[in-house]
Amino acid sequence: MDLLSNLALGFGVASSLQNLMFCLIGVLLGTLIGVLPGIGATATIAMLLPITFQLEPVSSLIMLAGIYYGAQYGGSTTAILINMPGESSSAVTAIDGYQMARQGRAGTALAVAALGSFFAGSVATFLVAIFAPPLTAIALKFGAAEYFSLMVMGLVMSVALAHGSVLKALAMVVLGLLLGMVGTDVYTGAPRFTMGMTQFADGLNFVAVAVGVFGIAEILRNLEDEHDRQVMTKNITRLFPSRDEFRQMVGPVLRGTAVGSVLGILPGGGAILAAFASYTVEKKLSKHPEEFGKGALAGVAGPESANNAGAQTSFIPLLTLGIPANPVMALMIGAMIIQGIVPGPNVVSEQPQLFWGIIASMWIGNLMLVVLNLPLIGLWVKLLTVPYFVLFPIIMAMCSIGVYSVNSNPYDLFAVAFFGLLGYVMSKLRCEPAPLLLGFVLGPLLEENLRRAMILSRGDPTTFVTRPISAGLLVLSLAVLVLVFLPQIRKRRDEVFTESDA
């Protein structure tokens, strides 16, 4: 079988001493920057690009890929421990992961995240190896109308993220959508809500908004009541999940892997949706949906598996088509061009040792990550015992450096400060940041694709229902909507006078 000989070739390349070492350097660096709040894979890879000049093409790409999926692992660590998601996909992990940490189950949450990620990463790598070409064909079937419908589905799902008032969640989604409008209109070039500052011409920086509403707001909130933290560290009884908890995580991990693998191949927003979608699925399927938002194990296991699976499968369009699915992949393309490799469909046939070497290294890298991360859990949890007056200034400094390093734009730092305050006010009003973030990410994509689809159909709105994939997604959104609201309506009828806002 071709696959076996290809995989053998790949593992041959990836397990050379040099490549193993670059893989290790990559995942180590990735874990490190993932753990440091605010510093993302994009900035790190951009900074390391010049160094890759000196390396073999395979080695440099193996290292850069390692940084990328290593950061996915590490990013969940800060999301769980200090409620500070470094990557958009770990925003979901923060919801229940941080609650688990507050209950003294930080070790369990970290272990579940690491094991779920490892499983998802392994499966997704295997999928990349077998199905890369056919999966690419599916991704190409997604035009503007399909993306619009996919984003609609994402927004519908965002309501399920709320564990309090649905009305407040909707308000947050809408606020997120509005924030997402800041910047230059793609179609007319008109600046919107930029207040005349060219620095906001490309919109608000995602990392700035996320760090602000999650992290800074959390720090401000923590400064109010110190005793909260003592609970966090005192209650730690064990670091690893119990047998029962292992059983609980099997289903969510399997489903998260499936959702993540599928959505990860879609360029633009697919990987972000994966984590949100998985959370929605788990909450719907759970026998105890009321636990979600208060430290549900499935709320960590599912989305973590989904985002790692998505991170791996987002290599598919890159490797088979030379198309970047996200900014990190765009950098990888730059790295390939610097090495004199023309990204495109020819890479698989002309550079088999490169293509299969990277795939094999992804599996090896995932193994390294789980081996590295499990023993580190104890160390990360110890971080929680670091006193506030030491930890918080460090976090703030790291965040500022990280946010600034993306674009060297000082206005991004003003945005962090502003959204920190906004996030604090929101937490006082018991509004949740996750739906806001989803609205912020999906809003621009929704609008861009809606308008593109309308231009392409020459103003005919039926394009959304006459194209089968788009119609299917819309029907699915409708189904989710009904599923979400039916119990809500029924509950309202039962307990009209009870305030469900907790």
Partner 1 sequence: MITRRILLGTALALSLAGTAAAEYPDRSITLVIPFAAGGSTDVVGRIVAERMSQELGQQVVVQNVGGAGGSLGAQQVAQAEPDGYTILMGTVATHALNPLILKQKPYDPVADFAPVSLLVLVPNVLAVNPELPVNTVQELIDLAKKEPLAYASSGNGTPLHLSGELFKAMAGVQIDHIPYKGSGPALTDVLGNQVPIIFDNLPSASGHISSGKLRALGVTTAQRAPSFPDVPAISETLPGYETYSWNALFAPAGTPPEAIEALAAAAKATMADPAVAGRMAEFSATIVASTPAELAEHVKAEMAKWEPVVRDANVTME
In the complex, which residues of this chain contact partner 1 (CB under 8 A)? 21-22, 25, 42, 45-46, 49-51, 53-54, 139-144, 184, 186-191, 198-199, 201-202, 267-268, 317, 321-324, 327, 330-335, 337-338, 340, 342-347, 407-409, 448, 452, 455-456, 458
From the CB of 193, what's the least distance to partner 1, in Å? 13
Asked whether 258 and 316 are in contact (CB, 8 A), the reply is no
Of the two residues 9 and 25, which places its CB atom closer to partner 1 in the complex? Answer: 25
Q: How far is the CB of 464 from partner 1 (least distance, A)?
A: 14
Cβ neighbours, 10 Å, residue 8: 12
Q: How far is the CB of 407 from partner 1 (least distance, A)?
A: 6
For partner 1, which is the closer residue by CB, 92 or 265?
A: 265
As a whole number of angstroms, the distance between CA 276 and CA 283 comes to: 11
Query: Closest separation between CB of residue 42 and partner 1, Å?
Result: 8
Q: Which is nearer to partner 1, 12 or 143 (CB)?
A: 143
Contact criterion met (CB below 8 Å) for 86 and 405: no
Rounded to a whole number of angstroms, the minimum distance from the CB of residue 43 to partner 1 is 9
Strand, helix or coil at 183?
A: strand
Residue whose C-alpha is closest to residue 424's, from 225, 224, 221:
221
Nearer to partner 1, 100 or 335 (CB): 335
Is residue 319 within 8 Å of 62, Cβ to Cβ?
Answer: no
Closest to partner 1 by CB, 133 vs 393, is 133
Cβ atoms of 320 and 132 within 8 Å: the answer is yes
**H or E segment and range at residue 250:** helix 243-264
Give Dmax (Cα) for the chain: 69
Phi, psi of 457 (to 5 degrees): -90, 5
420 contacts 433 by C-beta, under 8 angstroms = no
Return d(Cα 92, Cα 279) in angstroms, integer: 7
Q: Closest separation between CB of residue 437 and partner 1, Å?
A: 19
Question: Which tokens in the block code for residue 345?
Answer: 């469909």
Q: For Cα atoms 288, 293, 297, give the angle at the middle one, nearest 5 degrees.
A: 60
**Residue 77 Cβ, how far from partner 1 at the closest point, in Å?**
23
**Which of residues 53 and 388 has its CB atom nearest to partner 1 in the complex?**
53
What is the rounded distance in angstroms from the CA atom of residue 116 to the CA atom of residue 302? 8
Nearest-approach distance from CB 329 to partner 1, in angstroms: 8
At its nearest, how many Å lie between partner 1 and the CB of residue 261?
A: 19
- Nearer to partner 1 (CB atom), residue 107 or residue 268: 268
Which of helix, strand or coil describes residue 192? Answer: strand
Q: State in angstroms the smallest separation of the CB of 350 from partner 1.
A: 10
Q: How far apart are CA 275 and CA 302, in angstroms?
A: 8
Asked if residues 55 and 96 have their Cβ atoms less than 8 Å apart, the reply is no
In the bound state with partner 1, the residue whose beta carbon lies nearer, of 62 and 480, is 62
Q: Which letter, b or e, does each residue of 229-245 get, where b requires 16 or more Cβ atoms within 10 Å of its Cβ?
A: beebbeebeebebeeee
User: Is the Cβ of residue 182 or residue 384 nearer to partner 1 in the bound state?
Assistant: 182
For residue 161, what are the contacts with CB-CB under 8 A and spacing of at least 6?
92, 95, 169, 276, 279, 280, 432, 434, 435, 438
Between 372 and 481, name the residue whose CB sits nearer to partner 1.
372
Beta strands in 135-270 (DSSP E): 183-184, 191-192
